[in-house]
Amino acid sequence: MISFLLYPRARGGCGAPPVSPLFDYDFTSGVLPTGVTFSRSSSGTRFNASGVMVSEAIDAPRFDYDPVTHALRGLLIEPQRTNLLTASNSTGTTFHQVVTLDAISSPDGTVNGRLVADDLEGNSHRTSQTYVNYMVGNVYALSSHYKSGSFGSCQFVPASTAFGGTLYQNIDMANGAFGAGNISTGKTVQALADGWLRAAIVRSCIANQSYVNFVFGNNNNLNAARALYYTGTGGTYYLYGHQVEIVATNERQEATSHIPTTGSVVTRAAEVVGMPIPAGATNGRFVFDDASTQDVDVSAYAGGLYEAPVNLNRAHIQRFYAI
């Protein structure tokens, strides 16, 4: 009996044994592949293998982990962004609510989460963030961290004139979802460790306004109307880490990793990831944390260094190889 061993078509021609790609960079080991360069002129946050938000120093790559499953998501690369809130973990003004500082461990692993409790009055119940000068034409990503207490839900209300006057969104803190509201697109929820979640909304500014965003109590009602009036019962929930960032039109329309601030705005610089491209290479393929891919033309960089764009389809790179 005669046996035949068949190989797939490869660079060596029909019937030739498969060959390795001209380049293949793996970002799933938690260290930079040989030859890859990296820089970032500021610190930046990520989640470590224990699901805790930590800050990485200048020029330290951010290998980011899923805060719930603790699986490595890959190398995190993001564009430059600024948190326009000058005190990200501060409560601005309160109305028929009492806020207790340093009440619970937050996503960053320290006891700096805030306990928010309704008073017993019949009114709306809310806290505010610090002021931002919203400018017409800009797109903003608004995000906060939430955790349920005796209340499993609350309500986010963006700055009124800047974003349309009557927008609101109930947030299901117990199940990591959205309830009733009139913000139909541009909203996401990310589950974090210990019952925390991060909810984000991306909106275009339609009118200049120097104002605040509010978090309202909603009497634990996911179907509550905007700025609900009700008689408080002392219901509680927790807050941490607010962020407002401008999103450029050529970037992913999403909130980026948290940028803590304490008294002034803070800018996180863009990551610069350089990968050597051998002579003869023409195209490369990025593989992301959700197994999706994106192909790019690298022919102009053959024999040199290709810098990964910060506006790729996704922020977490697991692999980049020649095709």
The span from the CA of 153 to the CA of 291, in Å, is 33
Would you list the DSSP string of 265-317? Answer: -EEEPPPEEEEEE-TT--EEEEEETTS-EEEEE-GGGTTEEEEPPTTSSSSEE
Q: How far from 78 is each of 12, 62, 95, 258, 312, CA to CA, in Å?
A: 38, 10, 36, 11, 9
Domain spans in the chain, listed from the N-terminal domain onward: 24-80+270-322, 82-268
CATH topology of domain 82-268: Jelly Rolls (2.60.120)
Would you list the DSSP string of 129-193? Answer: ---EEE-TT-EEEEEEEEEESS-SEEEEE--HHHHTSS--EEEETTTTEEEEES--SSEEEEE-G
Position 165 scores a pLDDT of: 81
Tell which residue, 191, 101, 182, 85, has the closest CA to residue 148.
191
Q: Is 195 helix (H, G, I), strand (E, B) or coil?
A: helix
Position 2 scores a pLDDT of: 37
pLDDT in tens, the chain (323 residues): 433 333 333 333 333 445 578 999 999 999 999 999 999 999 999 999 999 999 999 999 999 999 999 999 999 999 999 999 999 999 889 999 999 999 999 999 999 999 999 999 999 999 999 899 999 999 999 999 999 999 999 999 999 999 988 999 999 999 999 999 999 999 999 999 999 999 999 999 999 999 999 999 999 999 999 999 999 999 999 999 999 999 999 999 999 999 999 999 999 999 999 999 999 999 999 999 999 999 999 999 999 999 999 999 999 999 999 99
Position 15 scores a pLDDT of: 39
- Residues forming beta bridges with residue 54, ordered by sequence position: 46
Position 19 scores a pLDDT of: 59
Q: Is 194 helix (H, G, I), strand (E, B) or coil?
A: helix
Q: How far from 147 is each of 52, 170, 259, CA to CA, in Å?
A: 15, 13, 19
The pTM assigned to this predicted structure is 0.92
Q: Strand order of the sheet with strand 304-307?
A: 37-39, 272-277, 304-307
Q: Is 66 helix (H, G, I), strand (E, B) or coil?
A: coil
Position 92 scores a pLDDT of: 86
- Residue written as tokens 């320290």? 110
